[in-house]
């Protein structure tokens, strides 16, 4: 069994009657990085608040309801993205394969794909992926990321604007929910409680 050292800092919770704590565990083996965990010790606050931690922002207390709403919005934008991409894959694939077949050589096709920024693969990698996975698969993988004008031009099929509007609306709602959550958040560590 390895032993690890744990340090705990306690801070005043949102209601002011209890604490929430910031634990740091230092494993005693080489190259191990410390791990952090957070806990709401106050029974009252733990009913309405959760600790949000991640890279790029300090550990923060957010209302459970805000977080749940934000996560629901993330799911909605994911679903809208999936719906659009599935539509594109279903309705634009044959036109895209036909377009690719109009090039005399794979090299010409690759040059055209590169110049239109449809692929970042260099020619040897394009050949390699084409022989490993099949050229149709490699070419079809570019479709979901293409904008509607290019889809219309190069596949002969323009997906309905309603699908893009639904995605834009879902992304906006996600951003708004994220902002609301962070506006209601409390960044950890403002009022530290002295160790007894």
Using CB under 5 A, which of the segments 16-24, 30-38, 119-127, 168-176 binds Zn ion?
A: 16-24
Site membership for Zn ion, residue 166 (CB under 5 A): no
Site membership for Zn ion, residue 45 (CB under 5 A): yes
Give the per-residue contact string, 135-154, with Zn ion (x = CB under 5 A; - = no).
Answer: --------------------
Using CB under 5 A, which of the segments 14-22, 76-84, 127-135, 156-164 binds Zn ion?
A: 14-22
Query: What would you measure as the largest C-alpha separation in the chain, in angstroms?
Result: 79
Give the shortest CB-178-to-Zn ion separation in angstroms.
Answer: 25
Give the shortest CB-49-to-Zn ion separation in angstroms.
Answer: 8
Site membership for Zn ion, residue 13 (CB under 5 A): yes
Total of chain residues touching Zn ion, rule CB under 5 A: 6
Site membership for Zn ion, residue 18 (CB under 5 A): yes
Residue 184 backbone phi and psi in degrees, to 5 = -90, 0
Site membership for Zn ion, residue 191 (CB under 5 A): no
Site membership for Zn ion, residue 181 (CB under 5 A): no
Q: Which of 6, 7, 8, 15 binds Zn ion (CB under 5 A)?
A: 15
Q: Which residues is 52 bridged to in the sheet?
A: 60
Angle at 190 between CA 187 and CA 196, to 5 degrees: 130
Q: Residue numbers of the site for Zn ion (CB under 5 A)?
A: 13, 15, 18, 42, 44-45
């Amino acid at each position: 069994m390895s032993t690890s050292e744990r340090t705990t800092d306690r801070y005043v919770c949102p209601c002011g009657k209890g604490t929430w704590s910031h634990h740091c565990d230092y494993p005693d083996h080489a190259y191990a990085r410390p791990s952090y965990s957070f806990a709401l010790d106050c029974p009252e606050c733990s009913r309405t608040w959760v600790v949000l931690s991640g890279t790029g922002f300090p550990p923060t207390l957010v209302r459970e309801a805000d977080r749940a709403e934000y996560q629901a919005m993330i799911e909605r934008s994911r679903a809208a993205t999936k719906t659009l991409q599935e539509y594109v894959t279903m309705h634009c694939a044959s036109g895209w394969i036909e377009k690719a077949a109009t090039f005399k050589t794979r090299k010409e096709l690759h040059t055209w794909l590169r110049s239109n920024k449809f692929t970042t693969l260099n020619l040897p990698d394009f050949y390699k992926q084409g022989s490993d996975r099949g050229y149709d698969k490699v070419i079809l993988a570019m479709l979901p990321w293409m904008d509607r004008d290019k889809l219309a031009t190069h596949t002969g099929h323009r997906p309905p604007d309603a699908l893009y509007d639904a995605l834009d609306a879902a992304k906006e709602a996600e951003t708004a929910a994220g902002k609301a959550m962070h506006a209601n958040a409390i960044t950890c560590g403002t009022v530290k409680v002295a160790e007894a």
